[in-house]
Amino acid sequence: MARIAGSNRSERVLILASFVNRVGNGLFNAVSALYFTLIVGLPAVQVGAALTVAGLIGLLAGVPGGHLADRRGPRTIMMLALMVQAVAMSALVLVESWAGLAVIATVDQLAAAVGGAAWGALVVRVGTDRPALFRAKLRTYVNLGVVMGTVGAGFAVTVNTRAAYFVLILGNAASFALCALLLFLLPRYKALAAPPMERRWIALTDRPFVTFTALYGAMGLQYTVVSLILPIWISEHTDAPRWTVAAVSAFNSAVCVLLQTRIGSRIETPRDGGRAFRTAGLLFLLSCPLMALTAYAPVWAAVALAVTAVFVHSLGEIWESSAGFALGFGLAPDHAQGQYQGLLGLGFSAGQALAPAILTTVVLGLGTAGWLLLGAFFAIAGAFGPALERWGTRTRTQQKAAATEPSSEPDEVRA
């Protein structure tokens, strides 16, 4: 295993496992729609419907799956979820109908939600020394894995045969299985005891964290800006060459890979996270008008504006993801990290499901005004970060004080 500077053995194992898994994801996710439409022969509407149904059902598994990880250990639950995904992914080579795709995709999304919550709990248990630095490194390698996988996916697009797509599908399945096997190298982290009389679904009743989940899902709309909205905008509303679409996408990935650790390692506490959330909103407030201006610039000026806008947007993405780590993990109690990460994943996934419809309507429908509204929306959402952190930290302090309050029972009666 290649040594990752400044990381202990468990951190290196989880980084490598996550990297392997994301290479596999990048191999298939970038061309999945082409496989189902061009090779299997399903209408695009049916493919979209099947994946939407699967995604919505999968949202239901995050919190229960996270709770299971808290009570049975995150490594065990994550490994089981990965093996289910490996089987489901392999089964895609047998898909010939809408119903088959819907069933297999639903199984995959249920396992993905459970695995995502368990992954969050596992990250907390592994990254104990410098959690912010570890999470920044982890996201850097995850981004790099996706980029490498996406480059590999170009093979199938070029060849465009059933066999070529099968290689990608089975490669992704193998990445799930290999990721699960690598997790055997981690300690078997035991469940942490919950305070007596605590509610089972504590995350769902934690108002500051529920509020943060909603804001995090809303801020997550920014991922769709670069992946979907900006490419369409460049193609339909600017004089920039078509290759600009691929160039800005690659540039976005490169900036995130190169700067994630440098910036993210400094955002350690919930207080840092609240400020970073606000900074991210301000960066998006700057990047959105720059994207709008590309429609009014000549060819090379449009290209330069697009690159500048994506650079600023990428900085915002790094600050936003780092804020998500600091607040998402920092405001969650250690014994219920899985449940809290499951809730956070539910909010994020819901935002991603709604993003295409919202952004195509607002930005592409309103044009320049839509970009300005989007930038203002991000800035307003981000502005709540510091206040949300103070609210969350205050309630955490109150909960700890109540938990440590001396009991009125005699010592020999106390558990």
Q: Divide the 415 residues of the chain into consecutive groups of 10 and give the mean pLDDT of each group.
A: 63 93 84 82 83 86 90 92 95 90 92 91 82 85 86 77 88 94 90 74 90 95 89 87 83 90 90 96 97 92 94 96 92 89 90 86 91 97 95 77 48 33
Same domain for 222 and 181 = no
Residues 159 and 301 in one domain: no
Burial of 409 (0-12, 13-18, 19+ CB in 10 A): exposed
Domain boundary among 157, 185, 213: 185
Question: Are 127 and 240 within one domain?
Answer: no
- Structural domain count, the chain: 2
Residue 33 shares a structural domain with residue 100: yes
Q: Look-up: residue for tokens 């801020």?
A: 219
Q: Which two tokens stand for residue 159?
A: 């060849």
Query: Which CATH number is 389's domain given?
Result: 1.20.1250.20
> Are 215 and 165 in the same domain?
no
* 85 and 15 share one domain: yes
Together in a domain, 267 and 334: yes
Per-residue model confidence (pLDDT) at position 397: 66
Per-residue model confidence (pLDDT) at position 403: 53
Nearest in space to 337 (alpha carbons), one of 62, 108, 135: 62
Of 153, 185, 217, which residue sits at a domain end? 185
Residues 164 and 308 occupy one common structural domain: no
Residue 157 burial (CB count, 10 A)? 15
410, part of any domain: no
Q: Is residue 413 part of a domain?
A: no
Q: Estimate the crossing angle of helix 337-359 against helix 98-126, to 10 degrees.
A: 130
334 within a domain of the structure (yes/no): yes
Give the separation between CA 161 and CA 43, rounded to whole angstroms. Answer: 18
Compute the Cα dihedral for 257, 119, 22, 348 and give only its sign: negative
Q: Does any domain span residue 132?
A: yes
pTM value? 0.84
> 352 and 230: one domain?
yes
Does residue 312 sit in the same domain as residue 232?
yes
d(CA 100, CA 106): 10
Q: What is the 3-state secondary structure (H, E, C) of the chain?
A: CCCCCCCCHHHHHHHHHHHHHHHHHHHHHCCHHHHHHHHCCCCHHHHHHHHHHHHHHHHHHHHHHHHHHHHHCHHHHHHHHHHHHHHHHHHHHHCCCHHHHHHHHHHHHHHHHHHHHHHHHHHHHHCCCCHHHHHHHHHHHHHHHHHHHHHHHHHHHHHCCHHHHHHHHHHHHHHHHHHHHHHHHCCCCCCCCCCCCCCCCHHHHCHHHHHHHHHHHHHCCHHHHHHHHHHHHHHHHCCCCCHHHHHHHHHHHHHHHHHHHHHHCCCCCHHHHHHHHHHHHHHHHHHHHHHHHHHHCCHHHHHHHHHHHHHHHHHHHHHHHHHHHHHHHHCCCHHHHHHHHHHHHHHHHHHHHHHHHHHHHHHHHHCHHHHHHHHHHHHHHHHCHHHHHHHHHHHHHHHHHHHHCCCCCCCCCCC
Tens digit of pLDDT for each residue in 57-107? 988 888 999 899 988 889 999 999 999 999 999 999 998 888 999 999 999
Residue 192 has a pLDDT of 80
Identify the pLDDT of residue 400. Answer: 58
Residues 22 and 162 in one domain: yes
Final residue in a domain of this structure, among 156, 185, 214: 185
409 occurs within a structural domain: no
Look at residue 3 and tell me if it is in a domain: no
Answer yes or no: is 415 within a domain.
Answer: no
Location of structure tokens 């994550």: 78
With contact defined as beta carbons under 8 Å apart, do 165 and 7 qualify? no
Q: 330: domain range?
A: 202-402
**Shared domain check, 211 and 173:** no
> Is position 190 within any domain?
no
